[in-house]
Structure 1
């Protein structure tokens, strides 16, 4: 097991502002029931026509991820927070255990910023590359931030549960946003959206980087693994996750194989991502703990196909290649 001194951490997020729920996070549809063959262009002299707020040209930084879907990224370290129309301001850029810290989205433009406060994004930078960590899912309401308004998320880092074998459950928007499984290193917290004068095709992302000052996260299997045994060259692990439909129901198999090279480009993953996939976490951790080239997890899966996987998956984790397949199992 992982030594008790090398622990994961818990990120507790609470959000507060006056924004309300206003529909799905998508561009509003044209509600006009009439149409014409031609559309007139807006009159530039009309004061009622808004233009997009002015942003500096170079607002990106290595301190923040690129946000592939964003037209522009405004990173806190690359901008003047007092002059830019929209910014995400961190209370601190050195996050310590058991100390809360705020991330404040501030709209100082003259128009509404359309976003989803539940779809914040957390990334980690490892060896110069950015990896998306969480959330895995979020609800999709439109929560506009009016001109002049702020919205604050409060984050508290506490000692975690990964080394104790506790699983990391999916975040729920209607509960305190708490997750385990963050090791020390450089992270970025951010969110994206668009201004009223623009569209979803002209999205802006704002982000702030910070250092999580703690030990690296050590991979450990979950406590759902109730027993293990060798079957030839295969390490068989039985999981308590899931229940049989009846006495004749057989568990599905999640099979991980350690390989020399992948048949296709593997997905490179970091430990903060691995611990958010129960089966992948257990299989890789067991493979490493037992030096097993092949691990079979037997578990009752409610998904179809088993574990939601209908193809062969390839992963690269800390320089080792893995192949994952699933099957309906056998008696």
Structure 2
């Protein structure tokens, strides 16, 4: 290659974060009421993201070191180091590229070995990974052979200067791994720091693969380093999505305030080998119950910044996306370094969900097409992936502990539903839902803008009946906490003789969907239109 690139990526990240994220704090709870404690989330079919650090290789807070991305001159490869080592007793190691592999020198890395305590420490050097004897990788991904971190003559702890040479393809390899590279014990004075230098070299046996695309891991996954390597001119996915060529509308969270189609919505099925950042599912068609792993791959030279909890599951119905989960979105700031592949797991159920460790769990899902998106980006783009779920149509019923009473009024059949929180509510309230007329969701304005926090939509007009619709609802939304009032009322209208349902509950359940204010809105559900009025009970 005729170019050499060493990018210090932290500066761009800080500019992006300061300009667009200045300061994500607190918690956006879309369904918390003011009268009741948290309920079992499975009861209402929406599991909040209880695992704060489900994404691996993601750090909460600000980057603490520069990251250098290099392009090798001996092969069309780009590489970066991720990770660090910090022991409980205050020993630490960092590692970063200084220069790429060239015709005259292997790829060179610099490291720092440090004692962060104010007292002397003697320890086994292998605890710091980069002082293993030898420092050999465990390969993963497409990498099938071992890489070595070999101390150079400038390394202050090296007991052996290990020779290297280029093979017939011009790749650098270590000549031998024999000998003692480092001492058996190491003593560091209080707060002492040692600057070290390494070469990244391929396996000494010429029949083995040289350094190639993949991840070379040094040490354990949660305490060590990984050197990520990818094709310079083809950092994107090398497989075809089953949705290639599929056109779908923009996700609500990626539409701007004027409702314009975004230029920065990045779908996996539209990614090409030249796409540096993409969200790749391990499956694109599953049968409930199912688990899908999504890998957010950052093969760019920029940090991705954002909220690790800002994931979204949406369902496509009649050309419109409906947000399904999560209900609760805490707002920390975190970042994804260049070369990092961060994984999130989604467990899907067609009935009551089962909480899984290190997973995002969503229950009460019917079959259909869904989209999963995450909250990391360079310049505000949304990364998303489609998948199809095979499951029976969802049948929604009121909560088991809801009390339903018939109260015929002589002209129309009414029902009154009382939730357990009504009796002890500090501010009891009601939701009155009245059938207005029949309506089909497919008649709705396809350009409707959906609010990602409430699930409501800007009012559009059903031209058949001349009524402004404030929100279109689907069955998969009703079991979620923020739609609790609808779960306990709208299913009762499956009985065509019912014209009105009154829900007795607390203020949070009744008015949360309205922004905690008394209001009247119009919604559509299952080819019918309803007027919804939320109000506090008078003293």
Query: Relative to 1, partners in 2 of residues 1:115 and 1:306: Cα closer, same or farther, differing over 3 Å?
Result: closer
Match of 1:185 in 2: 368
8 Å Cα contact 1:16-1:152 kept in structure 2: yes
Per the TM alignment, residue 186 of structure 1 is displaced from its structure 2 partner at its CA by 0.3
Query: Relative to 1, partners in 2 of residues 1:295 and 1:130: Cα closer, same or farther, differing over 3 Å?
Result: same
8 Å Cα contact 1:266-1:321 kept in structure 2: no
Deviations, residues 276-325 of structure 1 (Å, cap 9, x unaligned)? 21111111112224631111111233579687242111101121000111
8 Å Cα contact 2:346-2:359 kept in structure 1: no
Query: Relative to 1, partners in 2 of residues 1:286 and 1:264: Cα closer, same or farther, differing over 3 Å?
Result: same
Query: Relative to 1, partners in 2 of residues 1:281 and 1:157: Cα closer, same or farther, differing over 3 Å?
Result: same
Q: Give the distance between the partners of 2:47 and 2:318, measured in 1 at CA.
A: 23
Per the TM alignment, residue 72 of structure 1 is displaced from its structure 2 partner at its CA by 0.9
Match of 2:382 in 1: 205
Match of 1:62 in 2: 247
Classify the secondary structure of the residue corresponding to 1:182.
Answer: coil
What TM-score, normalized by structure 2, do the two folds share? 0.45
Deviates more, 1:150-159 or 1:10-19: 10-19
8 Å Cα contact 2:281-2:292 kept in structure 1: yes
Match of 1:216 in 2: 393
Q: Give the distance between the partners of 2:331 and 2:512, measured in 1 at CA.
A: 27
Match of 2:268 in 1: 76
8 Å Cα contact 2:47-2:327 kept in structure 1: no
Match of 1:97 in 2: 288
8 Å Cα contact 2:48-2:326 kept in structure 1: no
Per the TM alignment, residue 140 of structure 1 is displaced from its structure 2 partner at its CA by 1.2
8 Å Cα contact 1:186-1:211 kept in structure 2: yes
Larger Rg over CA atoms:
2
Q: Could you list the runs of 5+ residues in structure 2 that have no partner in the other structure?
A: 1-43, 63-233, 237-243, 257-261, 438-464
The answer on 1:274 being equivalent to 2:478 is yes
Per the TM alignment, residue 191 of structure 1 is displaced from its structure 2 partner at its CA by 2.0
Match of 1:18 in 2: 57
8 Å Cα contact 1:219-1:271 kept in structure 2: yes
Classify the secondary structure of the residue corresponding to 2:476.
Answer: helix
Whose RCO is larger (CA < 8 A, sep 6+)? 1
Once the two structures are superposed, the pairs formed by residues 104-119 of structure 1 within 5 Å of their partners are 104-119=295-310
Per the TM alignment, residue 74 of structure 1 is displaced from its structure 2 partner at its CA by 1.5
8 Å Cα contact 1:254-1:325 kept in structure 2: yes
Q: Give the distance between the partners of 2:538 and 2:401, measured in 1 at CA.
A: 20
Match of 1:294 in 2: 500
Q: Give the distance between the partners of 1:302 and 1:122, measured in 2 at CA.
A: 24
Q: Give the distance between the partners of 1:235 and 1:19, measured in 2 at CA.
A: 50
Classify the secondary structure of the residue corresponding to 1:312.
Answer: strand
Classify the secondary structure of the residue corresponding to 2:489.
Answer: helix
Match of 2:41 in 1: none
8 Å Cα contact 1:12-1:176 kept in structure 2: no
The answer on 1:265 being equivalent to 2:469 is yes
Q: Give the distance between the partners of 1:105 and 1:175, measured in 2 at CA.
A: 16
8 Å Cα contact 1:225-1:240 kept in structure 2: yes
What TM-score, normalized by structure 1, do the two folds share? 0.71
* Matching residue within 311, 314, 318 for 1:123: 314
8 Å Cα contact 2:305-2:333 kept in structure 1: yes
Q: Give the distance between the partners of 2:431 and 2:245, measured in 1 at CA.
A: 41
Classify the secondary structure of the residue corresponding to 2:532.
Answer: strand
Deviates more, 1:175-184 or 1:214-223: 175-184
Q: Give the distance between the partners of 1:127 and 1:153, measured in 2 at CA.
A: 28
Deviations, residues 155-189 of structure 1 (Å, cap 9, x unaligned)? 22235239xxxxx9xx9xx9864332211100011
Classify the secondary structure of the residue corresponding to 2:60.
Answer: coil
Match of 2:520 in 1: 312
8 Å Cα contact 1:60-1:74 kept in structure 2: no
Per the TM alignment, residue 330 of structure 1 is displaced from its structure 2 partner at its CA by 5.9
The answer on 1:327 being equivalent to 2:535 is yes
The answer on 1:226 being equivalent to 2:379 is no
8 Å Cα contact 1:224-1:241 kept in structure 2: no
Q: How many residues align?
A: 274
Classify the secondary structure of the residue corresponding to 1:138.
Answer: strand
The answer on 1:235 being equivalent to 2:415 is yes
8 Å Cα contact 2:519-2:535 kept in structure 1: no
Per the TM alignment, residue 100 of structure 1 is displaced from its structure 2 partner at its CA by 2.2
* Matching residue within 421, 432, 446 for 1:255: 432
Q: Give the distance between the partners of 2:500 and 2:529, measured in 1 at CA.
A: 12
